[in-house]
Structure formats: structure tokens, C-alpha cells
Structure 1
Amino acid sequence: MSAASGNGLEDESAYRWPIPPAEGWTADDLDRIPGLPPHTELIDGSLVFMRPQTAFHGRCMRLLENSLLEQAPPHLDVMREMAVKLDSKNRPEPDVLVFQIEANTGPQQTWYKPEDVLLAVEVVSPDSRERDREVKPRKYAQAGVPHFWRVEQDAEKGLPVVYVFELDPATKSYGLTGIFHDRLKVSSPFDVEIDLTAVNRRPGRP
């Protein structure tokens, strides 16, 4: 028998949230904790749960993943929503990442090493602004990920705006190298050109 919850929804049973150990969760714990919501991240030993995805967020990921896959050289691969184990206490999940193709270990793989990642991309959501703008890029940089893109939604056009950053190895911090509206065109980490106005088109359609 189901029981009615306080908001009127019926729940088969009350879910028990995992109780963290005193020293916090570790990156490997994410593969062992039962019942975690999809795309749970680990930041500084704390679990971070994702809110439902917006259409803008999903369409940006699709556009970037497809475009990067089409244009990446053969030694690179592209994946979206896969974790990077930065260290024992941090396992974020970039929206899109480009990595060395030999880093693929098989169908049960759940994360990549930061030294194999060439580019991490975060599409900013209302509930993740601070993490996507400050926390995660700082951690990617400290882990040595050479390129980072932050994608925001233009308030007037509703189209993506891409902020492109490159790592300064001496300071382990990112420097802004460009802000792109309508069309993204860069030569690093490889030659990429993306029509950002195509975000709402289906692939292969004019």
C-alpha cells in the first residue's frame, strides 16, 4: 500500500538519504551509494544533486557534442555528462568533455582522469551559476585541464554565448581568451567552428 506524502503525492516508501561519513564522501563512493539521482556530482566531499534539465541546457549539450565530434581529430573523443575524477573528494560531471580516445576503458566506465581531458564544458543553469562560474573551473584548472568553456544564455536572443578559457600552467588558473556570440571559431584545442544560432535546429536539418 502506498502512503500519501505531505504534498499530496503518493510514495511507495520513504527514501532514506545516504548519511555521509565524518570525513565526507570520496569519488569512488559515487559508484557504490545506492539510489543516487542521475548525474550526482561530488564537490569537496559533498554530494550535489541536479535539478531537472531545461530545454536550453539539453539543446546546447547536443549542439556542442555533435559539433565537436564532427570536427575532432581521430585521437580525440567527445562525451557528454561523464564524470572526471579530479581527486578523492571531487568528481564533477562536465556537460561536455573532449578527451584522449585511449582513455576509454569499456562500457562500464563511469569517469575519466583529468590528465586525459583536453576540454571541459559547462552550460550554466540557474541553480548552478556559482559552481559553473567559479567552483568547477577553479578545480578543473588546478587539476590541469587545459581548456574550459562556459556557456550562458543570452538574455535577449535566448542563444548560447560561449566564454572560452585557456589554462596558464604557471599559475594553474584560467585566462579568458574570447567571448563568442552567434558563431564560435577557435583554433585551440583544435580547429572548431560552431554556428551557435543552430541550437534549436535538429541535426541534419536546415
Structure 2
Amino acid sequence: MPLPVWAADPYSLLITEEQYEALPEEVCKTIEVVDGSVVFCGSPGHEHQIVSHNLTNALRDARPPSPCISVVQDLDMRYRCSNPQAKEKGRYFTVRRPDVSVLHCVERGSKVTSADVFTTVEIAGADSKQRDFQDKKAEYAAQRIPMYLIIVLDADDAIHSVEEYRLDWSGRNYQLAFVHRDVLDTELPEGMKINVTFSDLESV
């Protein structure tokens, strides 16, 4: 059988930030980029989208009058550059797209970076648990995002639990702070208090 393209050309799945920006929006929505490597992402299911939408609304309702806070779904989040030579090399560009991001407001038209975000949320189904519990958890902690919530779906795509992670003393690793059952009741940075039942998050 013929070799796949990447076997003969290991650079075929690498992409620079400039190349990413030139892609059609419908293509960008199907991929993430990690250290310049393309990662393909499946489309979320119906239940996943309902939970994401309802949580976004609940978080928006929890925002204090100030400072200005945005709550968005599926928004490109570029990692702040830890290597000053990365842009010159052009292959260390990383963009993730959390299911929900809570961030300080940015200027209109500005690209969001991990430095703007203070809480990320991923909804972990059967096909994404390894990515959400291992890869993204390590990456978001390394980017020093203060809080990370993982909504765990069971085999029927109902919410089983919500795991709440916060940065430890090192500021580079997450510690499990709490496992929520039936109700997500917690306080995010910037005084955002949220109390929402799992049934409300699953409500159509």
C-alpha cells in the first residue's frame, strides 16, 4: 500500500500562524494547532452543544458589574509565547478552542490569548476524555490559566460530574479542588459565583 503523505513529508501536517489565518473559517473550526502540528477535532454532539450553551448563559448571568468580562464558546485561544524565538521559527504556534472561555474583555478585533483567559471549560465525552484530562489540562496549567472545569459526560451524554481544577502553589500545575455532583456551585476568579443544577445545564 502507498505510504501516507506525512510519512514521506513530515512537515505536511505543520502549519504556521500565517497559514492558519489564511484558511477558510469552516476549515479552522475543524482543527486546533499544537506547536505547529494540526490536530483534527470532531464536531460536538447535540447534548454537548446544549450543555455548552446553557453554561455560557449561566456564566454570563454570574458576571459582576466590573471588571468587563466576556464568556464565549468555541473561541480561538492562542497560547502566549514562552519562547521568544518561536515566531521566527514559525512552527511553535498553538491555538486551542475551549468549549467555553471566561476572559477579561479585549479590544474589538483583537486576538484572544491565554493571558486574557482566567477560566476554561471543556465538555469531555467518550471521544475526548484523554485530550481534556491529560493534554489540555497540562497545557492550560502551563499557560497559567487559574481555573479549569471539566464537565464529564457519561455513556448517555448526560452530565456525570464536573471536576474543578485550580493552579497549585507552583502556578504551573492543576490540583483537583472539588468534584461537583448534581449542582455546579463554585466561585470563579473575579468574584463570579455560579450555582446551576446539572438538570438546568441539560435543559433544552
Taking structure 2 as the reference length, the TM-score comes to 0.78
Return the offset for 1:156.
7.5
> Secondary structure in 1 aligned to 2:178?
strand
Match of 1:126 in 2: 126
Which residue number in structure 2 is paired with residue 98 of structure 1?
102
Post-superposition CA distance 1:1-28 (Å, at most 9, x none): xxxxxxxxxxxxxxxx9x8747932344
Equivalent residues, number: 182
Match for residue 75 of structure 2 among 61, 79, 82: 82
2:54 maps to what in 1? 63
The match for 1:151 is: 151
What does residue 200 of structure 2 align with? 198
Alignment check: 8 A CA contact 1:144 1:169 kept: no
CA distance in 2 between counterparts of 1:39 and 1:32 reads 14
CA distance 1:77–1:21, change in 2 (3 Å): same
The SS at the match of 1:172 is: coil
Secondary structure in structure 2 of the residue aligned to 1:73: coil
Give 1:39-50 correspondences, 5 Å limit: 39-50=30-41
Corresponding residue for 2:3? none
Tell me by how many angstroms 1:37 deviates. Answer: 5.3
In structure 2, relative to structure 1, the CA distance for the partners of 1:100 and 1:60 (3 Å cut) is same
For 1:76, the aligned partner's letter is: I
Comparing 187-196 and 24-33, the one that deviates more: 24-33
**Structure in which a larger fraction of residues adopt helix:** 2
Structure-2 separation of matches of 1:172 and 1:82: 23
The Cα shift of 1:194 comes to: 1.3
CA distance in 2, matches of 1:112, 1:37: 15
Match of 1:31 in 2: 21
The 1:28–1:117 alpha-carbon spacing in structure 2 relative to 1, beyond 3 Å, is farther
Q: Distance between the aligned counterparts of 1:23 and 1:53, measured in 2?
A: 23
Q: Which structure carries more relative contact order (alpha carbon 8 Å, separation 6+)?
A: 2
Letter in 2 for 1:195: T
CA distance in 2, matches of 1:49, 1:129: 15
CA change 1:116–1:169 in 2 (3 A) is farther
Q: State the shift of 1:193 in Å.
A: 1.1
**Contact 2:150–2:163, Cα closer than 8 Å, also in 1:** yes
Ranges in structure 2 where 5+ consecutive residues have no aligned partner: 1-5, 82-91
Q: What is the distance in 2 between the residues matched to 1:175 and 1:68?
A: 22
Q: In 2, are the aligned partners of 1:27 and 1:85 still within 8 Å (CA)? A: no
Assess if the C-alpha contact under 8 Å between 1:59 and 1:199 holds in 2.
yes
SS state of the match for residue 127, structure 1? coil
Rounded to whole Å, the distance in 2 between the matches of 1:169 and 1:115 is: 18
Q: 1:152-203 CA distances to partner (integer Å, 9 max, x unpaired)?
A: 114589225210001125250001111111111112322111111113324x
Question: Counterpart of 1:178 in structure 2: which amino acid?
Answer: F
Does the aligned pair in 1 maintain the 2:72–2:102 contact within 8 Å?
yes
Taking structure 1 as the reference length, what is the TM-score of the superposition? 0.77
